Each structure stands twice: as C-alpha cells, then as structure tokens.
Amino acid sequence: MRTIFLHLREATEEQVASFLTEAFPSQNGPPWILAVGDDPCLYVDFRRNWQAESEPEEIECLRAVLGGGPSVSLSADVSGRHPGDAEVRNFVSQVLSEFDGVAEDEYTEGFWTKAEIVAEVRKSSNLPGRRERLTFFDHQGFGNL
C-alpha cells in the first residue's frame, strides 16, 4: 500500500472530520473510504502519532514549513488495486483548498503545497544518492529509478 500525508495548521479534528464527511459522504469515517466504483481506493484517517513515526529532521522541516507543528495530520493509504493518481490529486486538492497545510509523499524529499502539486513541480527523490526529480505521488517514476 502507498501512503500520502497531509499536515494542516489552524484546523481542528472536528472541522476536518466534518469536511471529510461532507466531501466524501459514502463513509462517515474515520476512516473515510473513497471508492472507485464500488471498490475502495483511498483509506483516509487521522495520523495522531506523526511525531513518533517521523525522523527529527523531518519534524524540524515540517515545523519550519508550517511555522509550528500541524494541528491535524491525515494519512491516505492507496489500495494496490488502483493506480490512485487521480484520486490522490483530487483528495489532496480538495483538502488543501479547504485548509492551510502541506502534503507529503513517500517518493520525494520535503513537503508539497497545493500550488506545487497543481503546477507539477519536480522535487528530488528520497532515494539516497539519487537526484532524479519526481512530481507529487510519482510512484511510477519512482518505480523506474
């Protein structure tokens, strides 16, 4: 399963839960399940233990980008049965249109703004010693490295 993360500032879990339930009404979550047809594609939940799961450098970088720690973090697991590209972009775009924050994927260094994702900016892969540049959630490009 592939995962993306969203880190939001100045939002409460209640606000985010209300938004997700309204925007994606097929599942009243958490977790919220976004389907392709009747088949689950994204599994969205709160990521309450992000600090315990993150390296100190990542925590420091996130705090610098957000001007402090996130007030809410989300994870979205992408089913292996679907590429998930369109669903991830749609989900991230909707959430970052509603709340101020950044996204993170497993393939690149650093954090992504909505504007960078929409503009298809390329960032360095997170593979040590590799400098190839990938767009947000570029699992296909990463798989070819």
- Domain parsing of the chain, residue ranges: 2-143
Q: Give 16's pLDDT tier (boundaries 50, 70, 90).
A: very high
Question: Is it the case that residue 84 has pLDDT exceeding 70?
Answer: no
Residue-level pLDDT at 80: 65
Residue-level pLDDT at 41: 77
Cβ atoms of 71 and 12 within 8 Å: the answer is yes
Cβ atoms of 58 and 126 within 8 Å: the answer is no
- For the entire predicted model, the pTM comes to 0.90
Cβ atoms of 86 and 35 within 8 Å: the answer is no
User: Where do the DSSP E strands lie in the chain?
Assistant: 2-9, 32-36, 39-46, 72-78, 100-104, 123-124, 133-134
Alpha-carbon distance of 53 to 9, in angstroms, equals 19
Mean pLDDT for the stretch of residues 58-71: 94
Residue-level pLDDT at 46: 95
Mean pLDDT for the stretch of residues 53-72: 93
**DSSP assignment letter at 125:** B
The percent of residues in the chain predicted with pLDDT above 90, rounded, is: 51
Residue-level pLDDT at 83: 67
Residue-level pLDDT at 127: 80
Could you give the 3-state DSSP secondary structure of residue 33? strand
Closest CA to 138 of 116, 22, 9: 116
Question: Is it the case that residue 8 has pLDDT exceeding 70?
Answer: yes
